[in-house]
Amino acid sequence: MDAKEFRQRGKEMVDYVADYIEGIEGRQVYPDVEPGYLRPLIPNTAPQEPETFEAIIKDVERIIMPGVTHWHSPYFFAYFPTASSYPAMLADMLCGAIGCIGFSWAASPACTELETVMMDWLGKMLQLPEAFLAGKAGGGGGVIQGSASEATLVALLAARTKAVRHLQATSPGLTQAMIMEKLVAYASDQAHSSVERAGLIGGVKLKAIPSDGKFVMRASALQEALERDKAEGLIPFFVVATLGTTSCCSFDNLLEVGPICHQESLWLHIDAAYAGSAFICPEFRPLLNGVEFADSFNFNPHKWLLVNFDCSAMWVKKRTDLTGAFKMDPTYLQHSHQDSGLITDYRHWQLPLGRRFRSLKMWFVFRLYGVKGLQAYIRKGSNKLNEALLEKINSARKIHLVPCHLRDQFVLRFAICSRTVESDHVRFAWEHIQGLATELLRA
Ligand SMILES: *Cc1c(COP(=O)(O)O)cnc(C)c1O
């Protein structure tokens, strides 16, 4: 394919994508296929001779689409949201075109510098404590990881290295193996499976702290586990707090857990993978209070902030904790402006060497939506909409409601009033309200 054909095919592909997104509601959200459906539909080996682009596109509809679960269908309510927006798709296209591998500053200065600045922009949107921002020459800073799983693993490995080095410095004679055997990490029993997996990969014990009746990790349960383990000669070193657990979106009590981690010198990592995007709205920001106790904090703009996968935002207070743990400097990767202030070599902050120019997606999305647009996306509805819904409900005369104000929120109150009300009446009312709300949103 030459540039001339690329211009044509590129435009066709953009049309195909726009048609796909516009028509996605008409596609069945979950496919009918059985495991192994695809192999009989395509040849056993790659073609010897080149094929045409038309042939491939035809097969996308014939072979691929029937086996796609449409995550961006409005009927998709499984797992968790995954972000998508046209600006992010366009930025991804540019990322593919530039095709740099930004492992060091010198390997593509814009790739590194835009990432550092975008992570500061995003950190400021969340009102993260200054210590997490890179600023001009701060100790902290942000990095884009591929996934929350990687962020947790990177944090655990860095914490492990820090703990091992500290113990070896204070008790010479201890070998790494002797220390590793005793290290213990902690997370709530509601934490995501990737946390347990990080413990498995990192070769350390990971203990589940029983959450309370509201699925929240509290001080007392953590303290109890720490005391018990220390009494047995184990060495606690790492705690993961989850803000927005996968099963029920519970929030571990950071204001209780944070100070304990601080006192006991445990690395506190916060996993806010899907709920974290909400913190850009001031009314949700209090849920992040206590982040100042954390050593590392992570959430996924690729879940709920309109940046297509993959884009997992991770901040640390001390960049040297990461670079100290993962640094390798073979001659062929060295350059004359190594790690200082804004000049960052992100290869020391992550597991792989290679990395894409992912910050372009953030830059496009943040600029084309603006912070206000992003906040409106998270809120997905205004007081005005709620007022209009109430008006619609009451003028239809089938059910009757009155509103209230809770601080600045216009709220529809649904009170169960009559002695003769049955669950069928409530169900009818709910369906009626849903119907009217759908009409309103479509209008
Ligand atoms: C989705 C999710 C993860 C895993 O995210 P990846 O980016 O796919 O690794 C981890 N923790 C929580 C709380 C999640 O919701």
For 383-442, which CATH superfamily applies?
Answer: Aspartate Aminotransferase, domain 1 (3.90.1150.10)
For residues 361-382, average pLDDT: 94
SS3 111: helix
Check if the beta carbon of residue 273 is closer than 8 Å to that of residue 108: no
Mean pLDDT for the chain? Answer: 93
Q: Is the CB of 242 under 6 A from ligand 1?
A: yes
For the Cβ of 299 lying below 6 angstroms from any atom of ligand 1, the answer is no
- Indicate if ligand 1 lies below 6 Å from the C-beta of 85: no
Strand 409-413 relative to strand 141-145: parallel, antiparallel, unpaired? unpaired
Q: Is 296 in the pocket of ligand 1 (CB under 6 A)?
A: no
In terms of Cβ atoms closer than 10 Å to its own Cβ (0-12, 13-18, 19+), residue 73 is middle
Percentage of the chain lying above the pLDDT 90 cut: 87
Lowest mean pLDDT across 124-138, 177-191, 266-280, 322-336 = 322-336
Confidence of residue 137 (pLDDT cuts 50, 70, 90): low
| The pLDDT of residue 209 is above 80 | yes
pLDDT of residue 418: 93
Reported CATH class of domain 96-376: alpha beta
Contacts of 297 (CB under 8 A, 6+ apart): 128, 132, 269, 270, 272, 291, 314, 315
Q: Which amino acid is at 390?
A: L
80 lines ligand 1 (CB under 6 A): yes
3-state SS assignment for residue 208: strand
As a whole number of Å, the end-to-end CA separation of the chain is 44
Domain ranges in the chain are 3-78, 96-376, 383-442
Nearest to 195 by CA among 252, 145, 142, 155: 155
pLDDT in tens, 387-415: 999 999 999 999 999 999 988 889 999 99
Question: Which residue from 149, 240, 287, 307 has its CB within 8 A of the most atoms of ligand 1, so it is best to mutate?
Answer: 149
**pTM, two decimal places:** 0.89
In the prediction, which pLDDT does 323 show?
Answer: 87
Mapping DSSP onto H, E and C, the string for 250-311 reads: CECCHHHHHHHHHHCCCEEEEECCCCHHHHHCCCCHHHHCCHHHCCEEEECHHHHCCCCCCC
Let me know if domain 3-78 sits in CATH 1.20.1340.10: yes
Residue 279 has a pLDDT of 97
Helix, strand, or coil here: 240?
Answer: strand
Q: What is the pLDDT of residue 338?
A: 64
